[in-house]
Structure 1
Amino acid sequence: MKSKNGFGGFLVATTDADWEQKWSTPPETVPIFEEADVVPYGRKVYILSLFANPSMDDSGKAKVQCDIRVVDPNGKVALALKDQTCYSGRLSGKATNVYMSTQVMVFSGDPGDPAGTWSVEVNLLDANRDTELPLRTRFQLR
């Protein structure tokens, strides 16, 4: 979890297949996700990017972008996405509430993928205040 200039964000890697149901609750309910630690081949890992307090433009809209990288245990970049829209538009509640990015990644280790520590890096950008948050999480594939 990081924050800068009032913008906050964090990254969760979870094996909860019901993550969406856990997330779709009233704002006062805090969802609890089981963090991915050691993950067997074939089990899905859901990568959730969360943020709070994005700045609004003159029309009252937030604009959060993100760069996403998945790096295997050998240092090889398995996935790289730049300038993805993570959120764009009016917020459904208070800016200080926690919101989920529209970019949810699903990872599943296939036979032939290297065992070991996989890293996920997401750089969140509050485009309206030009503030970046480099976030990182990891899990073991076995």
Structure 2
Amino acid sequence: MKTARTLALLALLMPLSALAQTALHDGQGNALPDTSSAKSSEGFSASMVVTADPEWQQKWENPVNGVPRFELATEVKEGGSLYILSFLTNPKLDAAGMAQVRCDLRITRPDGSLSGDEHDLPCFVTQLDTDPNSVYLSSVGMKFTAEAGDPHGTWTVAITVRDTVRNVSLPLQSSFDIN
């Protein structure tokens, strides 16, 4: 990120052992409607989670009952941190068995100015030897720490997840308040 704030890209390509289906589903297998932070198109799905839980990685790597649970966060106080995570399901594989998913990441301050703006990041570019229908943690995510001097108000995070083999883009958006 081109900013002095504490933003860190997280390289976290760890598959979840529980299988998912080709669209977003609840715990009973019912299809969920698209929202601003979770979308599906042509069998490809992506979602974004904003959590204040510093144990999110432990929960991801060792889920209880096969499914990690993350408390959603909508606000942070000065000195506090949020973790912005992105997930995907069912990337189409190229002829060599590679997933080719790229992402754009944009963070907008309450006044509309950009805190970060990255394009064409490799968020899931890998040889996939597991079931593509599993839920995967994208490598595009970040830790956001609210620092002294950060403007109070609503910050917006936008991640566009692109399955380049399938030629599908899923624009995701979430927000949080610094107060």
Whole-angstrom CA distance in 1 between matches of 2:133 and 2:67: 14
Q: Tell me the residue number matched to 1:50.
A: 87
Q: Tell me the residue number matched to 2:45.
A: 8
SS at match of 1:21: helix
Unpaired runs of at least 5, structure 2: 1-37
Whole-angstrom CA distance in 2 between matches of 1:94 and 1:78: 36
Q: Tell me the residue number matched to 1:79.
A: 116
Superposed, 1:48-127 pairs within 5 Å as: 48-127=85-164
Aligned-pair identity in percent equals 39
Unpaired runs of at least 5, structure 1: none
Alignment equivalent of 2:55, drawn from 18, 25, 28: 18
Q: Tell me the residue number matched to 2:169.
A: 132
Whole-angstrom CA distance in 2 between matches of 1:42 and 1:93: 39
TM-score, length of structure 2 as denominator length: 0.76
Whole-angstrom CA distance in 2 between matches of 1:90 and 1:16: 30
Whole-angstrom CA distance in 1 between matches of 2:42 and 2:158: 20
Alignment length (residue pairs): 142
Name segments (4+ residues, structure 1) moved above 3 Å: none
- Report the RMSD for the aligned CA atoms in angstroms: 1.5
TM-score, length of structure 1 as denominator length: 0.95
Deviation at 1:93, TM superposition (A): 2.4
Whole-angstrom CA distance in 2 between matches of 1:38 and 1:103: 21
Deviation at 1:56, TM superposition (A): 0.2
